[in-house]
Amino acid sequence: MTSILHQLGHRYQWSLESIVEQQTGDGVIIGPRYIERTKVQALQANIRQSAFFDPQFFLPQSSQGKLPTYTFFPQVIAGGFSTTEWNDDLQLRCSEACILFQQECDFKYLIIPLRFFEGMPSDFIEKQERHFVNPFLETAMRLHVTKPILLQLIVTDQMIREDQYRTDLLNWITSYPGIQGIYLIYHVHNRRKQIDDIDFIIPLLGFCASLKAAGMKVFVGYCNTEALLLVAAGVDAVTMGAYENLRMFNVTAFSEREDTVIRGPNARVYIPKLLQWVEYPYVGAIRRVVSNIDDYIEDNDHRVAMFSPTYNWHFTKPDPYMHYFVAFSRQLRRLCNLNGDARIDAILAECTQAISEYDRLYQEGIVFDTDSAGTHISRWITALNLWRRNR
């Protein structure tokens, strides 16, 4: 059974409220970029015990957001991170402080963090082992860690597409007897709102399935709607998040961005029947041409607020995200209750239905913009069919 985890960030209270009141998740992933240390420690024990903590060492030299409140973060503990000066002493001090924090908070898993590298560096494994994996495993043994250990793996789309690189990663990950699974994050360059690269999706599903076949647990972070595809590979958990930066990993959120003006996104609503986040101006058009709006905008408590005549749509309002948590978790759970080929068939059926609904709306005169359209869905069907045929 694939679990649903909420990726916590800014406005993390929305996720906690949704999980408690509407059972939209089985746990959370906590990160220091948006939640300061004392607030993590103040979370209720039952929340922490069903969670794991992502130390977010993606850019060890970063001082963005709340990262400086964590004394074990590389930039903090080193007084300014530098690869050339990241010596054995700093590595062990960092790993001990990070592990002790995770132990004190009683998280469900212990995460070994890795850093982010662009492209496909030939020394990727060597650097990750030397700077983080080996020091953390050594420290975990010395501290007699009993929690299951997950290795964080941050890959680029280039790494996943390249057969030999992907095989090398698989062999490396499965070579550690003390690691029970991975926390996988993928960085896709030049992506749209939805991942639609067939040559990325097929090897990604294969990579996850191979890890599962090797007896590893696989938790996939920063998922958008492609989480529906990942459950086909039998991963242990996929994630949901409110804002897009929690549904699409982008390393720039952790980089230094001086004098940069960030433009807020347009308000959107997730429509399960279309497998897409649609810009809110289209909602009124859809209501005009369908007989039952419940078929499109799933009827739950949060829809009432959004459909109020005086509702002011804005990307900072909680209702579209709270509505999404309910709608998408229901959609995922319907699929996760099935097994094997029955699950894959159900995913393909939902994709086929979505294409039919887009065609129907087009015939009624609704023409969606690129980011609200369903062009990704035919590619999903293609990728899922080809992956199943060759798995």
Please give the pLDDT value at position 283: 87
pLDDT tens column, 40-58: 999 999 999 999 999 999 9
Please give the pLDDT value at position 257: 65
* Average pLDDT estimate for 294-311: 76
Residue 248 and residue 259 in contact, taking contact as beta carbons nearer than 8 Å: no
Burial class (CB in 10 A: 0-12, 13-18, 19+), 273: buried
pLDDT tens column, 64-91: 999 999 999 999 999 999 999 999 999 9
Contacts of 113 by beta carbon, 8 Å cutoff, 6+ apart: 54, 55, 56, 57, 98, 132, 136, 152
Residues 11 and 148 in one domain: yes
226, 254, 282 - which closes a domain: 254
Dist CA 206 CA 203 (whole Å): 5
Residues 165 and 241 in one domain: yes
pLDDT bin (cut points 50, 70, 90) of residue 341 is very high
State yes or no: pLDDT of 259 exceeds 50. no
Domain housing 14: 3-254
325 domain residue, yes or no: yes
State yes or no: pLDDT of 206 exceeds 90. yes
H or E element at residue 183: strand 181-187
Residues 200 and 318 in one domain: no
Q: Is pLDDT larger for residue 180 or for residue 315?
A: 180
Dist CA 216 CA 203 (whole Å): 17
262: which DSSP letter? P
Residue 208 and residue 184 in contact, taking contact as beta carbons nearer than 8 Å: yes
346 domain residue, yes or no: yes
| Tokens at 55, concatenated | 């130390």
Residue 264 and residue 315 in contact, taking contact as beta carbons nearer than 8 Å: yes
Bridge partners (DSSP) of residue 186 are: 155
19 domain residue, yes or no: yes
Residues 167 and 305 in one domain: no
254, 279, 295 - which closes a domain: 254
254, 282, 306 - which closes a domain: 254
Please give the pLDDT value at position 111: 97
3-state helix, strand, coil in the chain (%, to 5): 50, 10, 40
Computed over its alpha carbons, how large is the radius of gyration of the chain?
21
State yes or no: pLDDT of 29 exceeds 90. yes
CA distances, 46 to each of 20, 104, 377 (Å): 11, 14, 38
231 domain residue, yes or no: yes
Lowest-confidence pick of 70-79, 253-262, 313-322, 349-358:
253-262
* Average pLDDT estimate for 251-264: 70
Query: Chain-wide mean pLDDT for the chain?
Result: 93
Please give the pLDDT value at position 261: 55
Lowest-confidence pick of 121-135, 246-260, 368-382:
246-260
* Average pLDDT estimate for 352-358: 96
pLDDT bin (cut points 50, 70, 90) of residue 385 is very high
82 domain residue, yes or no: yes
Residues 154 and 221 in one domain: yes
Residues 210 and 357 in one domain: no
Q: Parallel, antiparallel, or unpaired: how do β-strands 268-271 and 217-220 relate?
A: unpaired
Residues 247 and 286 in one domain: no
Residues 202 and 126 in one domain: yes
State yes or no: pLDDT of 263 exceeds 70. no
pLDDT tens column, 216-236: 999 999 999 999 999 999 999
**Backbone angles phi and psi of 55, in degrees to 5:** -65, -15
Residues 247 and 346 in one domain: no
Residues 235 and 108 in one domain: yes
State yes or no: pLDDT of 260 exceeds 60. no
Please give the pLDDT value at position 58: 96
Dist CA 297 CA 282 (whole Å): 12
Residues 226 and 276 in one domain: no
pLDDT tens column, 269-293: 999 999 999 999 998 899 898 887 7
123 domain residue, yes or no: yes
Closest Cα partner for 234 from 223, 220, 246, 247?
A: 220
Residue 242 and residue 236 in contact, taking contact as beta carbons nearer than 8 Å: no
**Backbone angles phi and psi of 154, in degrees to 5:** -110, 110
H or E element at residue 278: strand 276-279
Residues 158 and 292 in one domain: no
CATH number of the domain that 14 lies in?
Answer: 3.20.20.380
263 domain residue, yes or no: no
Count of structural domains, the chain: 2
Give the whole-number percent of the chain exceeding pLDDT 90: 83
Closest Cα partner for 52 from 95, 128, 113, 97?
A: 113
260 domain residue, yes or no: no
pLDDT tens column, 106-146: 999 999 999 999 999 999 999 999 999 999 999 999 999 99
Please give the pLDDT value at position 262: 58
